[in-house]
């Protein structure tokens, strides 16, 4: 039998994994090492060479898209569709099993899957029915509590209750929630897994059937499995079936949603598999790989591997020290412009960051440069719900007749103003020719609303009028901050969403305050007589109205480091490499978090194919205060011989006798100067000639400023 088509395009380690004989296998697949190819060829090898029926194989991956692509590639290798092969996600396969054996699992045959939002609404209703305070028992928090215990395989009666107060009440809500689901035939995502594990555990004849059928189990992305998924794998494997597990403990970055990186080591301990390391990388340059290896070496308890390539060493990793966040964004977008001018595609460039809130400055700089972009897997900054909510409040404070702003926030956070009351306000506004706000004031004054509605609407009017009175002369940053605090927006999200989502929204609102603080009113707006507040609102609306590039357009990619996993780009920028930002400040306090942050850095670095930049800002503006940060420890873990430091002004163009003096007699690069308003600073950039030369001065207190050299009131200090 000619099997050359199954082996010819594989390297030695890949062939070893694909052709492995009896026993279990652990394939430690490094970034860019061809793990999907190994899985696909392994399935084809089992079917074509070992004559395993496709019905005797179960392959599990983590997305439906990946499962579909894998099935297609297997069919192409075999020349026929692998009918009977079970391939899908854990949730998809469990759903299939439960449909086949619903009655045995204690479910109605017509059971329905409860998505996350429906689950939230059911939990919220139960909290109200049980007369608990939503402030003390936020529905999202309770939802997380229930799903966490389900993922760990625990029913309400199996939870150890260590206090008779808050925790005991959460367990009681879980018990009522489960009863409601049983009564109405509803199954949430975590229940799909838990119910399947219970079915196989409690029905020996059913477990024996599937153990006999699936003699080969192939599991992808094993480092992302949770406790329940590992339990399911152990049940199906039994003592006789062969497990083929592919994973990379160095790329486990989802601990915050239940993934257990230790499952890789538990598998090695429980099954004693043959271990094959896929270390040859087909993506990145030698320099990038060596640097990534040295960074991840600082983590303990690794299975261990060392990525290498037959390709060129490539260029050094560029480390850029920016003066502030704006300087960082300008530098990165400037390099992207250079890349495009050199004939490369915008889509070959990606900007990666730890927090979604960091996207704003890059979006602004790309818009200024007229470079199309997409925020991968997310919304642009001014399109995010929490930003739109806060801006709607600001709009309404500025202009009480803004009906769209009124409708957006009149009941956000919930204050007892329902759709019926809003409909009454709309009817009154339409019939009297008033704005919604004016109609609300009129109906409250006339006692024309029901008592409860009148009280809620009156409180809303008082809130908006009070903010308007406070913010008349306030600067934009403090005004934005005051609105966020006075309206309890953060508490609103905290009561509705999971902690990681709340953290992201809070970061975005902090960035919105910073955007307001640093807003520089365009000259044309000032000439048109717009106030700074009106100008800020106009600019925000214009930015929100600038649509992202379409999916088919060639555009720069902006994304979080978590979103970047599985992707690759010739040019990668890792921004915000500062202690407290990346690694995140909380990672130092929580066990295991720092190691996961380092793995996230490793993932980011190995997205780069040709060029990798890492940047950090010496200072960032937060709530009106300049925050000074140290470079990330991950930058410090880069070997010096693999990096090239880039710094604006002095570092790249030293001052002193070797610096060319300008013939126009104006301050040269590196000159120390003093400005009557901005204080002392250093000349770091020059554009043009003569009296109209523009110079950029980095002031010690005010940061970088562009000035017209011939007219600026500068005193030369050196």
pLDDT digits (tens, 9 = 90+) for 413-424: 988 898 899 999
- Tracing tokens 């495009």 back to the chain, one arrives at 340
| pLDDT category of residue 145 using cuts at 50, 70 and 90 | very high
| pLDDT category of residue 679 using cuts at 50, 70 and 90 | confident
Q: What is the rounded CA–CA span in Å between residue 459 and residue 716?
A: 58
Based on the residue annotation, tell me whether 607 is a catalytic residue of this protein: yes
188, 220, 224, 497: the catalytic one is 220
Q: What is the pLDDT of residue 700?
A: 78
Q: Output the pTM of the full model.
A: 0.77
State pLDDT tens for residues 582-639. Answer: 998 888 777 789 999 999 999 999 999 999 999 999 888 765 567 778 899 999 999 9
- What value, to the nearest 5°, has the Cα angle with vertex 626 and ends 625 and 630? 135
Name the token pair of 276.
């094959």
DSSP state of 315: P
DSSP state of 552: T
**Which residues lie below 8 Å from residue 190, measured CB to CB, with a gap of 6+?**
146, 147, 150, 151, 228
Based on the residue annotation, tell me whether 125 is a catalytic residue of this protein: no
- Over range 520-533, report the average pLDDT: 71
Sign of CA dihedral 436, 438, 441, 442: negative
pLDDT over 50 at 108, yes or no: yes
Based on the residue annotation, tell me whether 35 is a catalytic residue of this protein: yes
Based on the residue annotation, tell me whether 150 is a catalytic residue of this protein: no
The answer to whether 333 and 371 are in contact (CB under 8 A) is yes
- Tracing tokens 């939990």 back to the chain, one arrives at 123
Q: What is the rounded CA–CA span in Å between residue 334 and residue 332?
A: 5
14, 141, 251, 696: the catalytic one is 251
Q: Which residue did the predictor score with more confidence, 522 or 309?
A: 309
- Over range 362-386, report the average pLDDT: 88
Q: What is the rounded CA–CA span in Å between residue 318 and residue 41?
A: 38
Strand partners, 611: 571
Q: Which element (helix H / strand E) includes 274?
A: strand 274-278
pLDDT over 80 at 137, yes or no: yes
The answer to whether 267 and 6 are in contact (CB under 8 A) is no
Closest CA to 575 of 378, 332, 368, 256: 332
- Over range 666-688, report the average pLDDT: 77
Mapped onto helix, strand or coil, the DSSP state of residue 8 is: coil
61, 607, 682, 696: the catalytic one is 607
pLDDT over 90 at 652, yes or no: no
pLDDT over 60 at 654, yes or no: no
- Over range 70-89, report the average pLDDT: 89
Based on the residue annotation, tell me whether 251 is a catalytic residue of this protein: yes
Average pLDDT, the chain: 87
Q: Which element (helix H / strand E) includes 69?
A: helix 64-78
The answer to whether 504 and 149 are in contact (CB under 8 A) is no
19, 36, 510, 548: the catalytic one is 36
Helix/strand number for the chain, H first, E second: 27, 21
15, 35, 42, 150: the catalytic one is 35
pLDDT over 80 at 401, yes or no: yes
Q: What is the pLDDT of residue 669?
A: 72
Name the token pair of 401.
């007749």
| pLDDT category of residue 550 using cuts at 50, 70 and 90 | low
384-387: Cβ within 8 A, 24+ apart:
384/356, 384/505, 384/508, 385/505, 386/489, 386/493, 386/505, 386/508, 386/509, 387/508, 387/509, 387/512
Q: What is the pLDDT of residue 21?
A: 86
Q: What is the pLDDT of residue 655?
A: 32
Q: What is the rounded CA–CA span in Å between residue 450 and residue 316?
A: 70
Q: What is the pLDDT of residue 541?
A: 72
State pLDDT tens for residues 458-510. Answer: 999 999 999 988 877 678 888 899 999 999 998 888 877 777 788 889 989 99
């Amino acid at each position: 039998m000619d099997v050359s088509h199954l082996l010819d395009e594989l390297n030695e380690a890949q062939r070893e994994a694909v052709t492995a004989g009896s026993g279990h296998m652990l394939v430690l697949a490094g970034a860019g090492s061809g793990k999907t190819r190994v899985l696909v060829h392994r399935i084809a090898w089992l079917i074509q060479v070992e004559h395993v029926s496709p019905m005797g194989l179960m392959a599990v991956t983590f997305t439906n898209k990946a499962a579909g692509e894998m099935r297609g590639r297997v069919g192409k290798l075999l020349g026929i569709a692998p009918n009977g092969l079970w391939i899908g996600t854990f949730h998809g396969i469990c759903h299939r099993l439960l449909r086949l054996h619903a009655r045995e699992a204690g479910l109605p045959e017509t059971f329905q899957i409860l998505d996350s939002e429906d689950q939230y609404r059911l939990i919220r209703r139960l909290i109200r029915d049980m007369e608990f305070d939503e402030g003390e028992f936020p529905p999202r928090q309770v939802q997380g509590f229930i799903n966490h215990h389900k993922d760990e395989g625990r029913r309400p009666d199996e939870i150890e209750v260590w206090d008779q107060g808050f925790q005991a009440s959460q367990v009681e809500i879980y018990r009522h929630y489960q009863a409601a689901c049983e009564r109405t035939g509803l199954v949430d995502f975590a229940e799909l897994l838990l119910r399947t594990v219970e079915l196989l555990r409690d029905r020996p004849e059913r477990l024996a059937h599937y153990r006999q059928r699936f003699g080969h189990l192939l599991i992808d992305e094993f480092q992302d499995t949770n406790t329940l998924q590992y339990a399911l794998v152990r049940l199906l494997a039994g003592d006789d079936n062969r497990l083929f597990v592919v994973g990379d403990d160095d790329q486990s970055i989802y601990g915050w949603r239940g993934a257990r990186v230790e499952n890789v080591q538990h598998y090695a301990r429980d099954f004693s598999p043959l271990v094959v390391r896929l270390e040859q990388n087909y993506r990145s340059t030698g320099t990038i790989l060596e640097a990534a290896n040295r960074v991840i070496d600082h983590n303990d308890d690794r299975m261990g591997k060392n990525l290498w390539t037959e390709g060129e060493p490539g260029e050094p990793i560029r480390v850029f020290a920016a003066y502030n966040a704006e300087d960082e964004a300008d530098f990165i977008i400037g390099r992207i412009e250079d890349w495009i001018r050199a004939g490369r595609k915008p889509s070959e460039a990606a900007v990666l960051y730890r927090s979604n809130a960091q996207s704003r400055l890059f979006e602004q700089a790309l818009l200024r440069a007229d470079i199309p972009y997409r925020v991968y897997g997310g919304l642009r900054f001014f399109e995010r719900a929490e930003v739109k909510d806060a801006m709607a409040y600001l709009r309404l404070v500025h202009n009480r007749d803004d009906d769209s702003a009124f409708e957006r926030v009149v009941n956000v956070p919930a204050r007892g103003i329902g759709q019926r009351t809003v409909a009454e306000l709309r009817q009154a506004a339409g019939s009297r020719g008033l704005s919604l706000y004016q109609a609300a004031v009129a109906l409250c004054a006339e006692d024309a609303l029901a008592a409860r509605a009148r009280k809620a609407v009156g409180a809303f009017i008082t809130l908006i009028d009070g903010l308007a009175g406070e913010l008349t002369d306030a600067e934009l940053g403090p005004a934005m901050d005051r609105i966020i605090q006075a309206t309890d927006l953060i508490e609103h999200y905290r009561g509705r969403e999971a902690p990681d989502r709340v953290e992201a929204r809070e970061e975005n609102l902090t960035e919105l305050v910073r955007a307001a603080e640093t807003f520089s009113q365009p000259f044309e707006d000032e000439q048109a007589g717009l106030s700074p507040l009106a100008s800020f609102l106009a600019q925000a609306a214009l930015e929100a109205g600038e649509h992202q590039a379409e999916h088919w357009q060639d555009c720069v990619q902006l994304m979080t480091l978590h979103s970047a996993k599985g992707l690759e780009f010739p040019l990668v920028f890792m921004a915000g490499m500062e202690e407290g930002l990346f690694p995140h400040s909380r990672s130092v306090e929580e066990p295991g978090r720092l190691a996961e942050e380092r793995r996230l850095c490793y993932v980011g670095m190995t997205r780069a194919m040709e060029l990798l930049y890492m940047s950090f800002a010496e200072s960032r503006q937060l709530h009106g205060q300049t925050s000074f940060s140290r470079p990330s420890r991950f930058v410090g873990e880069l070997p010096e011989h693999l990096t090239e430091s880039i710094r604006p002004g002095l570092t790249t163009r030293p001052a002193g006798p070797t610096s060319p003096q300008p013939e126009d007699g104006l301050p040269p690069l590196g000159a120390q100067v003093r400005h009557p308003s901005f204080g002392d600073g250093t000349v770091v950039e020059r554009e043009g000639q003569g009296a109209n030369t523009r110079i950029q001065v980095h002031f010690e207190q005010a940061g970088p400023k562009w000035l017209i050299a011939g007219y600026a009131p500068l005193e030369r200090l050196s």
